[in-house]
Amino acid sequence: MVASIDHPVRTTSRRIIGDEMIVFILMTAVLAIVPMTGIYPFFVMQGLCFALLACAFNLLLGYGGLLSFGHAMFLGTAGYVCAHALKVWDVPPELGIGAGVAAAALLAVVTGVVAIRRQGIYFAMITLALAQLLYFVYLQTPFTHGEDGIQGVPQGRMFGVIDLSRPDTLYYVILGGFLFGFLVIYRAVNSPFGEVLKAIRENEQRAISLGYKTDQYKLLAYILSGTLAGLAGSLKVLVVQNASLTDVHWTMSGEIVLMTLVGGLGTVFGPVVGAFAIIAMQQYLAGFGQWVTVIQGVIFVVCVLTFRRGVVGEIAHYFKRSL
């Protein structure tokens, strides 16, 4: 990190950041003109929420090597709290989003302390079990309205002036939220903190022997990931105007994993591509009922057996670039 400017390693990493910047600007430009193209904005907004969710998940698995099989709990918790705040407490949307994010952050602190006590496969099982625990809690507590969920959540006016019930306005607010989360993750991954995280992924024992308190790094990554997943959950409530049990169910956690895997683990843009691919697939195949589950299963199997780099990972590998 303190290498001098003319150091060869430094120049390489500079070029890589250049590549990523170009792709980022392209992505932002494409997303910014969506409302003018006639593409169904609802679909893109949903995609953006899931893209942010998958990016947050990727921060943990792709860079920290921690597979959370319960990330739906952050999506669902933030969603319920945000929806409850907007509908029952009647707060403005910015406070509703904040409440959802705060709830997810709190949940991440509590579950993180428990989950990071074990590594690898156990971490996955523990996060899955914690999410299932929360699923049953939400099934029984009155404020979530059980099977019905919280319906008809008002979108309201942000800061008193921005009317979120207008689709175009809402679109740019969601896009802003997504880009904010995306850049936070990008900054974290390319910071000294991110470097230590990658070191832990590669060899935790060695990172410990170098004097890093790896548990603290992992916990911080987990909290950051959970909080940003909560942001995705809050934004999603503004888009779909409801919060329901499907967002806390283990199938949702599985979909998050699938999106990231398809796009490319440990790549910057992979989760975005993966999220849009999976959402589009669900949209187009909605008429096929349970076959969608089967197809998702097949994609899992194919990705793990032959396509472990994912779409963006393969492209990056082909051009020998980091994306």
Number of residues binding to another protein, judged by CB under 8 A = 42
Report the alpha-carbon distance of residue 45 to residue 235 in Å, rounded: 9
How is residue 173 written in tokens?
């607010």
For another protein, the binding residue among 10, 118, 166, 206 (CB under 8 A) is: 118
Sorted by sequence, the CB contacts under 8 Å of residue 14 that are 6+ apart come out as none
Spell 273-298 as b/e; 16+ CB within 10 A means b: bbbbbbbebeeeeeeeeeeeeeebee
Report the alpha-carbon distance of residue 11 to residue 179 in Å, rounded: 27
- Segment contacting another protein (CB under 8 A): 35-43, 142-150, 163-171, 283-291? 283-291
| 180 lines the binding site for another protein (CB under 8 A) | no
CB 263 to another protein: min, Å: 14
| 298 lines the binding site for another protein (CB under 8 A) | yes
For another protein, the binding residue among 34, 99, 107, 130 (CB under 8 A) is: 130
Are the beta carbons of 238 and 155 closer than 8 angstroms?
Answer: yes
Nearest to 252 by CA among 212, 218, 293: 293
- Of 30 and 137, CB closest to another protein: 137
Report the alpha-carbon distance of residue 30 to residue 44 in Å, rounded: 11
- Segment contacting another protein (CB under 8 A): 22-30, 31-39, 122-130, 275-283? 122-130
| 308 lines the binding site for another protein (CB under 8 A) | yes
Report the alpha-carbon distance of residue 319 to residue 323 in Å, rounded: 10
For another protein, the binding residue among 105, 296, 310, 316 (CB under 8 A) is: 296
- Of 155 and 296, CB closest to another protein: 296
Are the beta carbons of 85 and 240 closer than 8 angstroms?
Answer: no
| 290 lines the binding site for another protein (CB under 8 A) | yes
CB 147 to another protein: min, Å: 14
| 208 lines the binding site for another protein (CB under 8 A) | no
Coil/strand/helix, residue 90: coil
- Of 232 and 261, CB closest to another protein: 261
Q: Which residues bind another protein (CB under 8 A)?
A: 67, 69, 114-115, 117-122, 124-126, 128-130, 132-133, 136-137, 139-140, 250, 254, 257, 261, 289-294, 296-301, 303-305, 308
